[in-house]
Amino acid sequence: METPNFSIEFFPPKTPEGVEKLRVVRQKLGELQPKYFSVTFGAGGSTQQGTLDTVLEIMGAGHQAAPHLSCVGGTRASIRAILANYKAHGIKRLVALRGDLPSGYGGAGELRYANELVEFIRAETGDWFHIEVAAYPEMHPQAKSPQDDLQNFARKVKAGANAAITQYFYNADAYFHFVDNARKLGVDVPIVPGVMPITNHMQLARFSDMCGAEIPRWVRLKLASFGDDSASIKAFGLDVVTELCERLLAGGAPGLHFYSMNQAAPTTAIWQRLTAK
């Protein structure tokens, strides 16, 4: 089974211990030979150096890497400087996002939306970067309506994005419906589903409430029924997410993007099940 857009996301570690731990995780996940690793970018550029350091280490180990770049809280000059730095290091991939406004910031910055960021990157750097943008099969939590959100997504693609990665979800129909509607708007780039392994019930519930990703009721109830039995939670989560991935790939998804949370075991377990069939 070939999944050309199989990719894995990390966040930049904040401590020397975290750096060492991620190095081990990256080596293990590198054995799966993903197309690329992506590295998140903190609110207002708060992890800018950590993002770059992590990306350069990944590239130094022989893998492709894509730093995330958010425009919120930034200026054209600051983003121009980041792009020049990335180009100087030979980075060819970017994940372009609006990002969340950090607390204490007065304004959103000079570029307010991801489509403006994509336009700016193209104007500054031409076709140097392969640009991924975000998509929200279950609607961005701040969008006015699903239709409005879909139009926002189409604007990002038309501004020059090469592909999209979705927010994670557990309802395959939401993804397929979103893709169908995007195609009707003339969006023809690959839309890669984002996959969140299930390993911790409370953490997943907290993340999902924040980002607007729905956990199906039957999954929530089953996870709650396990209490503190982490082995049962992980085993059930592996079944649920593997079945989701199988359905997505069978239905024509162009690959999978795993939100690893800087852990190797959950993504590896899913991938091994998928490739064993």
Query: In this structure, how many other beta carbons lie within 10 angstroms of the beta carbon of residue 227?
Result: 10
Of the candidates 200, 218, 217, 168, the one whose C-alpha atom is nearest the C-alpha of residue 266 is 200
101 and 72 Cβ atoms separated by less than 8 Å: yes
Catalytic site includes residue 9: yes
How far is residue 190's CA from residue 197's CA, in Å, rounded to a whole number?
22
- Secondary element (H or E) of residue 250: helix 230-250
Q: Are strands 191-195 and 257-259 parallel, antiparallel or unpaired?
A: parallel
Q: Report which of 69, 30, 12, 6 is spatially closest to residue 257, judged by C-alpha positions.
A: 6
Answer whether 89's CB lies under 8 Å from 56's CB: yes
- Active-site residue (options: 2, 9, 20, 246): 9
How far apart are alpha carbons 77 and 163 in whole angstroms?
26
Largest CA distance in the chain: 53
- Please count the other Cβ atoms lying within 10 Å of the Cβ belonging to residue 274: 16
Angle (deg, nearest 10), helices 172-184 and 146-158: 60
Cα–Cα–Cα angle for 243, 132, 6, rounded to 5 degrees = 35
Contacts of 73 (CB under 8 A, 6+ apart): 43, 44, 45, 99, 101, 102, 105, 107, 108, 109
> 134-144 burial string, b = 16+ CB within 10 Å, else e?
bbbbbbbeebe
- What are the residue numbers of the active site? 9
